[in-house]
Structures are given as C-alpha cells and as structure tokens.
Structure 1
Amino acid sequence: MPRWIDTWLPGSSPTTPAGDHPGERYGLPAEGANAVAGFGRRLAALTVDWLLGYGVTALFLGAEVTSSPFTVLAIWFVLTAVPVAVFGASAGMTALGIRVASIGSEPVVGVPRAVLRTALIALVLPPLMRDADGRGWHDRAARTIVVRTRA
C-alpha cells in the first residue's frame, strides 16, 4: 500500500509494486553496470564533490575559506549541477563510477531538473528519505535514479 506522500511527490510510482531488488520496476539489473548505486557510493561521491568545492574556494579565498560557508556551498552547487545537467555525473560521481539517469525517455537530466536535484541535496534531509529503489526525495522530485557505470 502506498504511503500518503507517494500520492503527491513527483516521480513516484505508487501503483507499481517494489521488485525483488532496487530498480527492478525501472528495468534495471540487480548487479553490475546500470544497477542502482548504493548509499555508501553516493555518499563518497558527495564527499569528493564537497572537498572539490572547498578546494576551489580555497584557491580564490585562501585561508578565509572557513569563514565563508555560503561561498563553498555556491561553488559546490555549480560544480555539481552543471556537470549533472550536461553529462549526468559530477566529478565525484565519475570517480566513484556512478551517474544520474533520467527516468523516462530523456537522454540527459537537463538544467532545470539538475538544479532542483542539487538544491534538494543541499537541504540534507531529502537524500536521507529513501524509497525501496534507493531514490531519495531529491531523485523522486527530479525524476532521476542514480546508477552504477561499472561493476
């Protein structure tokens, strides 16, 4: 039975039952390339992207990087949203072998959905609220799913 939030959250499929493995309802394999990426791999990719944001900010601000968290957030936002919109993966995602795939027939995520997805990640809570397919609220709102690019 679908939860109440499934009825209004974009990208949800409350009428389709969960399968035996995450991503089965979207036609994804259980293991290997194109399988749903695990939480640990996604968290590691986010950490890499966040550290890159700090590094780029430190190049411009030097030692004052710790006194400007919103600048770091803005740099991280750009370093994440732009490559996800164009290529489907940020630098951290590429390093960890994952990418953001669009649910549906679109070949790329696109700018509006990448910006929405990244903004919701910045709020911290949406990625922690996950469904049976491992999709957080940010992925459901943007109609995306994170998959592995290699085994």
Structure 2
Amino acid sequence: MPESGVGSAASGGARLLGLIADLVVAALVTAIFLHPSLQDPVAMQNFNLWSGGVWAVISVISAGFFGFTPGMAAVGIRVARLDGAALVGPLRALVRAALTFVIIPAAVRNADGRSWLDRLTGTVVIRMR
C-alpha cells in the first residue's frame, strides 16, 4: 500500500466521519417509519434500537457487496480485502459491523493504520481520492 494518497490507509478521522454519516442516514431512514418523540424516553429507546438495526443492515449490505457504506462514499474511503478479492462479502461485513458496534476493536489502530477489526477480518480501509 502507498504511504499517502489514493490506495493508502484511511485516517481515523475519515473513518469516524463516515460512521457518523452512516448513523445519521440510519436515523433518517428510521424516522420515515417511526416518529421520534424527544419527550418520551420509551419511544426514543425504541427509535434508537431500530436505528441501530437499520445501520447494521445498511453497513452489512453496502460494505459486503459494494465495498463502502454511504458514509464511507461521502468521505472517500472504502473497505478492501487484503487477499485482493473483489468483494468484502457479507460475512466479513457482518463481523466488521458487530465489532464496530463494540467500539474498542474499531478504535484501536496499529502503526500501519489498520484497526483490530481490520486485522480480524483481513481487510483494510483505504482512501479512494
């Protein structure tokens, strides 16, 4: 992998911004079907639970079959397999989403810019532009 530019490991900031964008998209999609009520804690808990589920579906399908989520595309990053296969695949994408939900494996990175979840799934998040 190159040190910088297209094809280099994505920064932690770009990854975080992509995740936040994906969470916003998931909340907006959920809001089409459920009305969030800020004064009702039970309704908000239900809304947040459904938003998390929508985020997981969006993440697994889009990353598994296209290599990026809507948020990742917006910030110019994508997931690639280290073995050179074209698709990340739904199983690896599911593991990535589950580990992202736990937060720690996604947040801890090593010197080459790969997080624990990248190392466990044989993937790397790279810059597209």
TM-score by length of 2: 0.91
Aligned partner of 1:58 among 4, 11, 31: 31
Please state if 1:89 is matched with 2:68: yes
Say which is worse superposed, 92-101 or 129-138, in terms of deviation: 129-138
Aligned partner of 1:112 in structure 2 is: 91
**Cα RMSD, aligned residues only:** 1.1
Gaps of 5+ in 1: 1-27
Aligned partner of 2:40 in structure 1 is: none
Please state if 1:42 is matched with 2:21: no
Letter in 2 for 1:84: A
Gaps of 5+ in 2: 38-42
TM-score by length of 1: 0.78
C-alpha offsets along residues 89-123 of structure 1, whole Å, 9 cap, x if unaligned?
Answer: 00000010000000113111111111001110011
Report the number of matched residues.
Answer: 123
**CA apart distance, 1:129:** 1.5
Letter in 1 for 2:71: G
**CA apart distance, 1:66:** 2.3
Identity of aligned residues (%): 37
1 or 2, which has the higher helix percentage?
2
